[in-house]
Amino acid sequence: MHSREPTAKGRPGRAPQLVVVGAARGRRLDHLPLRPPRFLRFTTHSIAPRPRSDSTPMAPTRRSETAPRRSSRVTDLEKAQQSAASKAASAAAAKAKKEAAALAREAAKASKQTKKAVNRNVVRPAAKKVAKAAGVDPKDNNKKAAPAPRKPPTDRSKPRAPAKKPAAAAPAKKTANKAAASANKADTKPSAGKTQVGGVVPDMTLRDEDDKEVSLKSLYDAAPLVIFSYPKADTPGCTTQACLYRDSVNEGAFAAVGYTVVGLSRDKPMAQNKWKTKHTLGYTLLSDPEGELLGQLGQTADKKRCHWVIEKGGKLLEAKHGVKPADDAKNALEFIKSLVTAKKDE
């Protein structure tokens, strides 16, 4: 009885074969990649590559033969050569620097010796000849001047007398202070050409807090005015001043004597409107950014807080410069009441 031979795993079957199955069946395996799968690697040598179109067989190549060399790598020999070259260059530069310094020292020394030789052989003989011709002995000029005699030492055992103060110093200081005070007073007064007390304020067109044009003449033709000025809207001192005028207006103090209150500053209408709304100021605020009316009424840089009392028709009755915020409204009202009382007495 015929029996089958055992296989490699001990089972009955065919004997193991060492050829590729595909090749055994007559198939072409040259279409496979150069690196076949792992189960076919042991038979790669038996697979012939596909011939090229020009029927020239393609020879097997290696990675080391076709791969380009890496130029960024520098061998130890090249590094040593570069280091030696840099050291030689630095040594040559240092040597050249030392030589240049030595040459500069020698040149300076030669120049100094040349100057000495010229002074000794040329300048001095020429000076002696000139002095001899002029009848002057050059040796007299070379002699040193005799030192000044020293003062005798002071006796510190004796008490010192008190130093007397100059009598004219104090009066001079007082006179200077008086002159400065008078100069300051003269600066605060309105200069010539501006409206003085008793004069008529000229008409000017300004803008109120609503950015509408307002004629000054239309205001003082309608009723007497109290115009107060302030440096800047919505600041502590100016707010105190404006709120005190507001309280007097709300109480009817100015209306009782027939006067209208108007605020005046260099602020823009928008800032005036915001300030008026914030503190509910019940009177007109005029904007004078160019300072035309303020300058006409005599406001100065150091006296920006003022008030003016203008009667009906535009006549200036009072001009107060450099007023205090807390007392301004009260003082203006008292002055107006005094005018009303004087008219009644007449």
C-alpha to C-alpha distance for 186 and 46, rounded to whole angstroms = 124
Cβ-contact 201, 310 below 8 angstroms:
yes
Q: How far from 293 is each of 22, 36, 231, CA to CA, in Å?
A: 115, 104, 14
CA–chain centroid gap for 71, Å, is: 52
C-alpha to C-alpha distance for 31 and 33, rounded to whole angstroms = 7
Long-range residue pairs from 174-183, CB within 8 A, at least 24 positions apart, any chain? none
The residue count of the chain comes to 346
Beta strand pairing call for 260-265 and 225-229: parallel
Does the annotation count 238 as an active-site position?
yes
Q: How far from 114 is each of 106, 119, 124, 267, 271, CA to CA, in Å?
A: 12, 9, 14, 78, 82
Q: Which of 238, 244, 285, 329 is catalytic?
A: 238
Beta strand pairing call for 316-321 and 306-310: antiparallel
C-alpha to C-alpha distance for 278 and 270, rounded to whole angstroms = 12
Question: Which of 258, 172, 264 lies closest to 214, judged by CA?
Answer: 264
Q: What residues are labeled active site?
A: 238
